[in-house]
Amino acid sequence: MSGAGRRRTAAAIRPAEPDDVPALLAIEEASFPTDRLDRRALRHAVRSPTILARVAADGDEVLGYVLVQIRRGSDLAWLTSVAVAPGRQGDGLGRRLVDAAERAAREAGRTRIRLEVRADNEAARKLYERAGYRRIAVIPDYYEDGAAAWRYEKDFSGQGRPT
């Protein structure tokens, strides 16, 4: 059953924990045919002070995740990965995770957030555009399989830090 036919749950967004890594890996492998993060990269992301890792969870079940990289001395955050379990796509979790990424970036003092997405991933592109991102570049031959990427950016400098 697609997520569109399922009743939305009150999944909580919380910081990722080391115990979440197996679920993150399963979502990663189910979501991306190429350019996947492996167990080691996900374990690093969950523990790194420069990566803000958040999960959407319904009780003990991890339904999706988002990773945001921050660098010292930069006002720019990078949304490096977002994925929702295939059976839960269409439930609004992707948007909630993107919102959580933005909130985390703003709390870390960043005023802009940037990302790359496959040019052929129409659902993700629409999600970002509805969230206020604008395309700033097309990058040919970006992915392992030769697919192009679209670079998006959102500026929230006028919004201040979240309360």
Q: What is the pLDDT of residue 10?
A: 76
Q: What is the pLDDT of residue 8?
A: 58
Q: What is the pLDDT of residue 160?
A: 55
Per-residue pLDDT tens for 115-134?
999 999 999 999 999 999 99
Residue type, 132: G
Low-confidence ranges of the chain (pLDDT < 50): 1-6
Q: Name the pTM for this structure.
A: 0.89
How many Cα atoms occupy the beta-carbon half-sphere of 62 within 13 Å?
Answer: 23
For 146-156, b/e burial (b = at least 16 CB within 10 A) is ebebbbbbbeb
Nearest-angstrom CA–CA distance, 27 and 21: 10
Contact 156, 111 (CB under 8 A): yes
Distances (CA, A) of 77 to 9, 108, 126: 29, 9, 20
Nearest-angstrom CA–CA distance, 15 and 45: 11
Nearest-angstrom CA–CA distance, 148 and 142: 5
How many domains are there within the chain? 1
Whole domain around residue 59: which residue ranges? 3-159
Residue from 117, 94, 115, 102 nearest 159 by CA: 102
Q: What is the pLDDT of residue 5?
A: 46
Beta strands in the chain (DSSP E): 12-15, 51-58, 61-70, 76-84, 112-118, 134-139, 149-155
CATH number, domain containing residue 44: 3.40.630.30
Q: What is the pLDDT of residue 4?
A: 46
Residue type, 90: G
